[in-house]
Amino acid sequence: MTSGIILVLSGILIGAGFALVWRDIRRNRRQAFLSEHDTARVAEAEVEITIAEPEKPSKAMPMAKSIASLLGGSLFARKTGEAASAEPTVLDEAVQAAVVADWSALQPVLEAGVGKINSLLQQAAIAIAAPGDSAWSYKNHGFGAYRRILIGEESVAWLRLELAPDGFLHARVKAHKDERSEINAAAQTAAKAIDASRAGDLLAECLKPLAAYVAKAQGPATMNNEVSAKAWQEIDGVVAAALTATNGALSQAGARLVPLDAPAWHQEANGHRMPLAIEVFGKDVARMHIDHRGAELEVAVGVPDALFINLGRRRRIAVAGLSVHPLAEVIADCAWPVISRSRDSRRSA
């Protein structure tokens, strides 16, 4: 009796199973559902559930690929907040190979630029560390490497240097902690024919917020004669080249800048000072000094006659990434008003 009942029930269940399978085949899809118990659990976990419309059989992807795509997109969306449908940029293999080759060729120039910046920032205890492994960024925006930025022994940010397929070299600084977000910055320059000076300028531009942050945290720097002398030695070649370039331009106006003494410690500047005379047609008409003031160089011009005090100039330029042409422009800009006035006076005499 019992065996008979079990056989009858088994037959009913088997029949019901075939009926369900046949219904699914006819409908060509299954409707998603949640039990009341599952609905309560989902509400507690605050998970958003999306039921996608089924694709037509002719356009359907293989099951494994579909699941991998959905899972991968979902995980990335949770991490970055971007749409799960975002796909990496597909670059031609030849383009990828060209970018990687150009990046490899840039390494000596970038290392020279990093070395230059590190020497300038060592007074502030800021250093750019060695690079990690080179790789493509997300969506293949660029090929490059990460470096740590250190303040003393503490790693405070990432520096990403990468070459984009359009030929631009990008530098980005991203703080490890949100409370230091003020140091985040980005800069770019064309990679074609780049040299160590331009690479240093790119890094200096990107590191300006970090230098300001450190200066604010440390307060005014106090240097002694020995430290100041070493700091001046690191920029002496750039200053000398800038003066040569400026004199080359001013010679057409009958003017020149003449160093009066070797750079030496100056208490007021809290650093080394180079004194110069401004001569117009051989006549000493004004004084200029170039001061090393911690993270900046100051160029100032003073006149002997109080009536012409409006001709005085004072400008500053960052030491980080210092290069010849920007410094020469600052020097010429400060010197020109008094030179122009002296030339006009000579004509009217």
pLDDT at residue 106 is higher than 60:
yes
Do the domain assignments include residue 2?
A: no
| Predicted local distance difference test score (pLDDT) of residue 26 | 52
pLDDT at residue 56 is higher than 50:
no
Query: 140 and 171 share a domain?
Result: yes
Do the domain assignments include residue 24?
A: no
pLDDT at residue 29 is higher than 60:
no
Query: 290 and 213 share a domain?
Result: no
Do the domain assignments include residue 309?
A: yes
Do the domain assignments include residue 9?
A: no
Do the domain assignments include residue 173?
A: yes
Query: 124 and 209 share a domain?
Result: yes
CB 192 within 8 A of CB 167: yes
Query: 185 and 69 share a domain?
Result: no
Supply the DSSP symbol for 90. Answer: P
Which residue range(s) make up the domain with 109? 93-218
- The last residue of a domain, from among 188, 218, 248: 218
Q: Which range has the worst mean pLDDT, 24-38, 122-136, 205-219, 272-286?
A: 24-38
Query: 107 and 125 share a domain?
Result: yes
- The last residue of a domain, from among 192, 218, 244: 218
Report the percent of the chain where pLDDT is more than 70.
Answer: 70
Angle between helices 225-250 and 93-121 (to 10 degrees): 120
Highest mean pLDDT among 37-41, 184-188, 300-304, 305-309: 184-188
pLDDT at residue 173 is higher than 50:
yes
pLDDT at residue 36 is higher than 50:
no
Q: What is the mean pLDDT of residues 29-34?
A: 43
Query: 40 and 100 share a domain?
Result: no
Backbone angles phi and psi of 55, in degrees to 5: -80, 160
Place 25 in a pLDDT band, splitting at 50, 70 and 90: very low
Query: 333 and 236 share a domain?
Result: yes
Query: 212 and 229 share a domain?
Result: no
Mean residue pLDDT across the chain? 78
- The last residue of a domain, from among 177, 192, 218: 218
CB within 8 Å of 2: residues ≥ 6 apart: none
pLDDT at residue 300 is higher than 70:
yes
Q: What is the mean pLDDT of residues 4-27?
A: 50
Place 219 in a pLDDT band, splitting at 50, 70 and 90: low
pLDDT at residue 162 is higher than 80:
yes
Query: 158 and 60 share a domain?
Result: no
Place 49 in a pLDDT band, splitting at 50, 70 and 90: very low
Vertex 135 angle, CA 132 and 138, to 5°: 120
pLDDT at residue 98 is higher than 90:
yes
Q: Which residue has the higher pLDDT, 115 or 84?
A: 115
Place 224 in a pLDDT band, splitting at 50, 70 and 90: low
Query: 139 and 68 share a domain?
Result: no
Query: 209 and 234 share a domain?
Result: no
Calpha distance 276→290 (Å, rounded): 8
pLDDT tens digits, residue range 133-146? Answer: 999 998 888 999 99
Q: What is the mean pLDDT of residues 49-68?
A: 39
Closest CA to 171 of 147, 195, 141, 203: 203
Do the domain assignments include residue 170?
A: yes
pLDDT tens digits, residue range 243-272? Answer: 999 999 999 999 999 999 999 988 877 889
Do the domain assignments include residue 27?
A: no
CB within 8 Å of 267: residues ≥ 6 apart: none
Angle between helices 324-348 and 225-250 (to 10 degrees): 50
pLDDT at residue 340 is higher than 70:
yes
Do the domain assignments include residue 87?
A: no
> How many domains does the chain fold into?
3
Query: 51 and 124 share a domain?
Result: no
Backbone angles phi and psi of 280, in degrees to 5: -125, 115
| Predicted local distance difference test score (pLDDT) of residue 31 | 44
pLDDT tens digits, residue range 302-327? Answer: 877 766 778 888 999 999 889 999 99
Calpha distance 209→204 (Å, rounded): 10
pLDDT at residue 48 is higher than 60:
no
| Predicted local distance difference test score (pLDDT) of residue 9 | 46
| Predicted local distance difference test score (pLDDT) of residue 79 | 37
